[in-house]
Amino acid sequence: MEYLMSYVQVFGIGNAAQEALTIIAAHNIAPCRHIVSPSDTREPSLFRDDCRMAIVINLDGEPSLAGQILATAHERGILATAITGTRDDLHPAANTRFVAADAAQAATTVIEMANITNRAGRINIDSQDLFNTLTQGKEAVLATGGASGDGRLVTALETAINRDEEFIKTSCVLLVAICHTPSSKLMASELMGVNENLGEWADDKKLILGMLTSSEMSDEVRVNIVAVK
């Protein structure tokens, strides 16, 4: 099977994570596996030879299972990323961690990372851009906004920022992916609105900007922000 992110493996612990894995697998994002016992985490073949990033989803499962997978990934030089139910779920071995309220949000986080790195455009974002972003801090947020019609880009950007404004504005790295249909060109005035909305609070951050296209969209503009601190 051909995956959008063949260099990624997604592991799930607990019932909610199993639901998230089902959603992710349906989109052919990456190899997925539900972990149910400590012996699963000790298998020599747990990680594929080409794995560069391990995502461990644990919203209601046993923390020690997630910790073991993340620790093994870290030891092998694999980018260890956790998706947990709250910020209190500590995983010291994780390079970085996202928080998801439920299985759908956990799955969306993984799917949107795949979309960001697989869409082409005027300014592409690749897996290395994503890795460079996620290794800059221990906590991460992926926020999405979409809009159509007049002022669509600014509205989409504001919607994304408002998902977690305090975190985004205090982050150290921002990866901003702007996606639109190939036939719907963004005007210079719209792009100027992006600069105005990012404003002075983004001046002290490392900013990675992508301009992507998708034939699945109409006149909608979609903005994904990955913020890390």
Confidence of residue 107 (pLDDT cuts 50, 70, 90): very high
Name the amino acid, one letter, at 224: N
Examine the fold and report which residue of 116, 133, 156 is the final residue of a domain before the chain moves on.
116
Q: What percent of the chain has pLDDT over 70?
A: 92
The pLDDT of 2-30, averaged and rounded, is: 96
Confidence of residue 184 (pLDDT cuts 50, 70, 90): low
Q: In terms of domains, do 164 and 221 share one? A: yes
In angstroms, rounded to a whole number, what is the distance separating the alpha carbons of residues 111 and 97? 16
Q: In terms of domains, do 90 and 186 share one? A: no
Q: In terms of domains, do 12 and 112 share one? A: yes
Q: In terms of domains, do 111 and 161 share one? A: no
Q: What's the mean pLDDT when you consider all of the chain?
A: 89
DSSP H or E stretch at residue 88: none
Q: In terms of domains, do 106 and 173 share one? A: no
The pLDDT of 160-188, averaged and rounded, is: 85
Q: In terms of domains, do 134 and 67 share one? A: no
Is the pLDDT assigned to residue 28 strictly greater than 80? yes
Q: In what order do the strands lie in the sheet with 173-180?
A: 121-123, 206-213, 173-180, 221-228, 140-147
Q: In terms of domains, do 128 and 92 share one? A: no
- Residues whose CB is less than 8 angstroms from the CB of residue 32 and which lie 6 or more positions away in sequence, other chains included: 9, 10, 11, 12, 21, 24, 25
Q: In terms of domains, do 155 and 108 share one? A: no
Q: Given its phi and psi angles, is residue 14 left (phi above 0), alpha (psi -120 to 50 degrees) or beta?
A: left
Is the pLDDT assigned to residue 153 strictly greater than 90? no
Say which CATH number the domain at 63 has: 3.40.50.10490
Position 104 scores a pLDDT of: 97
Q: In terms of domains, do 182 and 150 share one? A: yes
Say which CATH number the domain at 140 has: 3.30.1330.20
Examine the fold and report which residue of 86, 116, 146 is the final residue of a domain before the chain moves on.
116
Q: In terms of domains, do 134 and 217 share one? A: yes
In angstroms, rounded to a whole number, what is the distance separating the alpha carbons of residues 83 and 10? 10
Q: In terms of domains, do 96 and 177 share one? A: no
Examine the fold and report which residue of 88, 116, 144 is the final residue of a domain before the chain moves on.
116
Beta bridge partners, 93, equal: none
Q: In terms of domains, do 87 and 150 share one? A: no
In angstroms, rounded to a whole number, what is the distance separating the alpha carbons of residues 137 and 167? 12
- For 38-88, write each residue's pLDDT tens digit: 999 999 999 999 999 999 999 999 999 999 999 999 999 999 999 999 877
Residues 134 and 80 sit within 8 Å (Cβ to Cβ)? no
Is the pLDDT assigned to residue 191 strictly greater than 70? no
Query: Counting Cβ atoms within 10 Å, is residue 169 exposed (0-12), middle (13-18) or buried (19+)?
Result: middle
- Structural domain range at position 175: 120-228
Is the pLDDT assigned to residue 35 strictly greater than 90? yes
Of 69-78, 190-199, 215-224, highest mean pLDDT:
69-78
Residue 3 belongs to a domain: no
Q: Residue 36, Cβ neighbours under 10 Å: how many? A: 14
In angstroms, rounded to a whole number, what is the distance separating the alpha carbons of residues 163 and 66? 27
Q: What percent of the chain has pLDDT over 90?
A: 67
